[in-house]
Amino acid sequence: MTHSAPPKTGQAPRPGADDRQVRTVRVPDERAGQRLDNFLLGQLKGAPRSLVYKLVRSGQVRVNGGRAKAERKLEGGDEVRIPPVRVAEAGDRPTPPKGLLDALEAAIVFEDARLLVLNKPSGLASHGGSGISHGAIESLRALRPNQTLELVHRLDRDTSGLLVVAKKRSALTELQALMREDGGIAKRYLALLTGRMPDGVMTVDAPLHIGLRQGGERHVQVNPAGKPSLSHFRVLERRGGQSYCEVRIETGRTHQIRVHAQHIGHPIAGDDKYGDVDANKRLRDQAGLKRLFLHASTLEFALDGGKAPYLLNAPLAPELIDVLDRLA
Active centre residues (catalytic):
156
> What's the Cα-to-Cα distance from 21 to each of 24, 162, 202, 236, rounded to whole Å?
10, 40, 54, 57
Residues forming a β-bridge with 161? 120, 296
Euclidean distance between CA atoms 297 and 154, whole angstroms: 14
DSSP 3-state of 184 = coil
- Which of these, 175, 180, 130, 182, lies nearest to 157 by C-alpha position? 130
The rounded distance, in Å, linking the Cα atoms of 229 and 226 is 9
> Is 235 within 8 Å of 241 (Cβ atoms)?
no
Separation between Cα atoms, residue 260 and residue 288, nearest integer Å: 25
Strand partners, 25: 2, 80
H/E stretch holding 141: helix 136-143
